[in-house]
Structure 1
């Protein structure tokens, strides 16, 4: 029987490799933008204008034109190819937009307006607060639910805590991916990022509960066996079910990535990476951490914990 939980030092190293870049990116973003992540106008408020020119255009030249017209905080970057530029800047009225249109046409020639949208700072602030509240409330709700669902098992709170730690891992891995794509393609965090994160949280915790539930069953079936062996057996017994479910979801997401169109590609890519991370953390983070906590051994040199009987309730000592 392959010992997954016994190799937890290896999984710790892999985890650090995955999440440290995300932490570094958030620190960099805080110093650069004043926020933990580079936020889209969905959160900050402002105008996002996407322009398609008849010839390749340098985004820095477009940004400089906006600066010369008084929009000193404007930012511009290419989208898809070097003929499409997206500009982010402060909200403007119709007259100011007409002036900018004339200046852009004079400098770069005719262009097509792909999209134009403005969001007020009040709405952006409300979205930010709602996003943070949704993540916090969902995490607390998950912790309470798991602790209640596993109340007949000793140290039920540990199950919920380990599940939340795995979710934090998934969020940080997703942030790592978004950070890489921000440097490569200018990605910013929009409202769909929150949707992707909440979907990943739900998917990941569902898989974690399946394994934890099997641990609870095996504690009854294999009384007297050490906890690490029971946990490892539970992972292997549910592995086929987990892989089959994840493979089905991945097929759907790959299809959407390939044929869903550019408007949802960032969303689907973010969610795909988060789902992969969730599949990993369920097996290699949540359960090994639970074993380490039960055996009070982070690196695997364990004080063996045995499943014993306390009336009809399995406990570990």
Structure 2
């Protein structure tokens, strides 16, 4: 919301001031360069005619994604499995990446020695650069003081090198006489983790239902809502399948956790914008050219909005790529999901959402025409 308000104010006031200044000084104002002057202008691509190929490609990707989801499954984060969370204070600034690397080695080694699998460690900065929130799923199903003591000892062994004052285990575990070490701890049980997982699924489904209702209401037809929602579901399934298929293969974290769900919801919100812009142009052209062929009108609208769609997607993708390449390990999975979402969402809005709307509208028109013919007989 803040971004939208800022963009509107900037477009109305700041841009006007800059343009007025340049005009008053006799400067030329150009909105194109030699490279972009004719970029994607006056295109006549038959998107609707090629929809069968897009259906085949997308269908194959969805089948692969669903196959990986149901056969291989996911690497879940602690949010969805349960685990223990510790807030640890250091005597100097540290980075989440360094802490994650140190703790990951110790916990992975212990898990391998004890024949455990699916152990993960998450590290996030918490309240300053000398304080970290560390969450681990190591023995998350085991209760008792002995397990707590074992994990605290493993944390101490992995983190003691970060302290300059030679912290002992007792001082690390208890901060009564020492300000540094474990200052708080908490446990996320399996039942709570299951609740979080269920709520995450519900939030995605509700988002799709609300968007379907909004698009259907705004464009006065369920076929428009169907096209938008199928496009979003298509994008979400492929991204979720990517995280399932390549988890443990790519050299960075692809855990499914609350951050990943936030990325999916963000992608849904972003991707529907492309659909709305295209649908708006189709509706406008339908009103202006009532007697034109429906397929021709849809193709014309897709070509007319192609430059805007590509420019918006590329300008959004560039900062996401920068985050994915130069950002820390803790946000790499999120940035990868957003990059995929932008690319797949843009493709889906053009090659899936609009063709689905076209086919559904065409089918509906044929049924209505058949009913009218039957009534006349």
Normalising by structure 2, report the TM-score.
0.64
Shift of 1:98: 3.4
Q: Distance in 2 between matches of 1:88 and 1:174?
A: 27
Is contact 1:177–1:273 with CA below 8 Å preserved after alignment?
Answer: no
Match of 1:40 in 2: 77
Match of 2:27 in 1: none
2:188 is equivalent to residue 119 of structure 1: yes
User: CA 1:227 to 1:21, structure 2 compared with 1: closer, same or farther past 3 Å?
Assistant: same
Which protein is bigger by CA-based radius of gyration? 2
2:113 is equivalent to residue 65 of structure 1: yes
Q: Distance in 1 between matches of 2:306 and 2:345?
A: 14
Q: Distance in 1 between matches of 2:149 and 2:49?
A: 66
Shift of 1:286: 0.7
User: CA 1:221 to 1:191, structure 2 compared with 1: closer, same or farther past 3 Å?
Assistant: same
Q: Distance in 1 between matches of 2:102 and 2:70?
A: 35
Match of 2:62 in 1: 19
Q: Distance in 1 between matches of 2:117 and 2:85?
A: 10
Match of 1:190 in 2: 257
2:282 is equivalent to residue 208 of structure 1: no
Shift of 1:100: 5.5
Unaligned runs of 5+ in 2: 1-43, 87-98, 123-135, 163-181, 370-377
Is contact 2:78–2:120 with CA below 8 Å preserved after alignment?
Answer: no
Q: Distance in 2 between matches of 1:266 and 1:292?
A: 36
User: CA 1:194 to 1:219, structure 2 compared with 1: closer, same or farther past 3 Å?
Assistant: same
Match of 1:10 in 2: 53
Match of 1:313 in 2: none
Q: Distance in 1 between matches of 2:114 and 2:143?
A: 12
2:230 is equivalent to residue 165 of structure 1: yes
Q: Helix, strand or coil for the counterpart of 2:330?
A: helix
Normalising by structure 1, report the TM-score.
0.75
User: CA 1:88 to 1:13, structure 2 compared with 1: closer, same or farther past 3 Å?
Assistant: farther
Aligned pairs for 1:1-317 within 5 A: 1-29=44-72, 37-47=74-84, 52=101, 59=108, 62-67=110-115, 74-76=117-119, 88-90=138-140, 92=143, 95-99=146-150, 111-112=158-159, 118-151=187-220, 156-185=221-250, 187-296=254-363
1:229-285 C-alpha deviation (Å, 9 max, x unpaired):
111111111111111111111011011112221110011111211121100000000
Match of 2:178 in 1: none
Is contact 1:48–1:89 with CA below 8 Å preserved after alignment?
Answer: no
Q: Distance in 2 between matches of 1:209 and 1:100?
A: 51
Calculate the aligned-residue CA RMSD, in Å.
Answer: 3.4
Unaligned runs of 5+ in 1: 31-36, 68-72, 80-85, 307-317
Q: Distance in 2 between matches of 1:66 and 1:46?
A: 17
Deviates most, 176-185 or 7-16: 176-185
The alignment of Structure 1 onto Structure 2 pairs a total of residues equal to: 274
Match of 2:20 in 1: none
Q: Helix, strand or coil for the counterpart of 2:138?
A: strand
